[in-house]
Amino acid sequence: MDSDKRVLIGMSGGIDSSAACMILQEQGYEVIGLTMRMWDLPRHFPNEGQSIPQFAIEAKELAEKIGIEHHILDVRDDFKRTVIKSFTDEYLKGNTPNPCVLCNKQFKWHYLLQEADRLNCQWVATGHYARISRKNNHFILNRGADPKKDQSYFLWRLGQQELARTIFPLGDITKEEIKQYVEKKGFHEKVEKKESMEVCFIPGDYRDFLREQLPDLDREVTGGYFIDAAGRKLGQHKGFPFYTIGQRKGLEIALGKPMFVTRINPIKNTIRLGERSELLTRNMVISDVIETIPGILNTSEPVDVQIRYRSAAIPATLRKGETPNEWIVCFQSDASAVTPGQSAVIYQNDCIIGGGIIADQRLLKKYAL
């Protein structure tokens, strides 16, 4: 079979990538599976003496049952150098990172395309719930048909090079339909398997993970203060990397009313607390902005901007910033807990036209808003 019908698919051993494999087979593709071993956790090795992670074993077993070639790629060292280091670095800057966004662009698709070329595959595929369309000879990433499972938010950094060779077999299908499909195929255990919603390399609290990766962290960030909007000290905190914008629980400080983290200053090691209303804003600055099509972002057309995965996009307009890759988002209604380090994804009619990283809100001071 020629390379035009050969597709390399990322396999995690779960229901979505398994379903994607079988759908591609039915569509006439020669499917090859690739499972990346990125980060080992104790739960990946449930049996004594086990040397291969359970998810890789399950992916390989699925591949054997449906009769496709399968490869396991050990990329743990590179994953630690790139994704893990970026994750810890961002917290040390006072930001709250979104490692999945970085991983998809600079890691998963990097290796998928590299291995696809090696294995003579024209296409790569994943089990993400997203779709791809074309506009003016450019590829556009669109939301998946299932609004509850749409994962386009995590994929906004994929560029033309990646999208031109990507297939999303699940883009037009709902999760419930996938469950029924896999059940009919005889893979009941895939349907019953509980899916993890956490970051893949963090088994519990991210704070414990930071301490494991940065043994001197507690000593380096201890001794900071909670402050109010006027700068008055309210009490001591445990270190700025252990907090995130919008956090209310776990502050371990009693002030007689619910208080939230409204700002983090890593230079002064201060955490500003305020009431819920102090989390609201109509404007934010985004940096490292990427346009899907050159020149598609403008100041005249309304857009919808999504600032976290589990929240609805908010109608907004855009203003150009002082540098080419810096824009100001002007929301049409209040946005809550705008968090530096998180992704702001810009949509029009369910199509991603751009995105950026939420910057420190203090940058708003240089703009007349």
| 18 in a known ligand binding site | no
In DSSP notation, 171-240 reads: TTS-HHHHHHHHHHTT-HHHHHSPPP-S-TT-SS-HHHHHHHH-TTHHHHHTT-EEE-TT--EEEE-S-G
Q: Is 259 annotated as a binding residue?
A: no
Alpha carbon distance 165, 206 (integer Å): 34
Q: Which helix (H) or strand (E) holds 58?
A: helix 54-66
| Contact (Cβ atoms closer than 8 angstroms) between residue 253 and residue 235 | yes
Is the separation of the CB atoms in 367 and 305 below 8 Å?
no
Is 250 assigned to a binding site? no
HSE-CB of 237 using CA atoms within 13 angstroms: 25
| Beta strand spans in 82-199 (E) | 123-125, 130-135, 138-143, 166-167
14 is in an annotated binding site: yes
Q: Is position 127 annotated in a ligand binding site?
A: yes
Half-sphere exposure of 206 (CA within 13 A, CB side): 16
Cβ atoms of 55 and 9 closer than 8 Å:
no
Say whether 354 counts as a known binding-site residue: no
Residue 12, annotated as binding a ligand: yes
Say if residue 38 carries a ligand binding annotation.
Answer: no
Residues annotated as part of the active site: 103, 200
Is 13 flagged in the annotation as binding?
yes
How many C-alpha atoms does 212 have within 13 Å on its Cβ side? 12
- Asked if residue 45 lies in contact with residue 53, where contact means CB atoms within 8 angstroms, the answer is yes
Q: Tell me the one-letter amino acid at 111.
A: Y
- Specify the residue for token string 């709902």: 174
Which of 2, 81, 76, 7 lies closest to 36 in space, CA to CA?
Answer: 76
Distance CA 110, CA 105 (A): 7
246 is in an annotated binding site: no
Annotated binding site for ATP: 10-17, 36, 127
Annotated binding site: 10-17, 36, 127
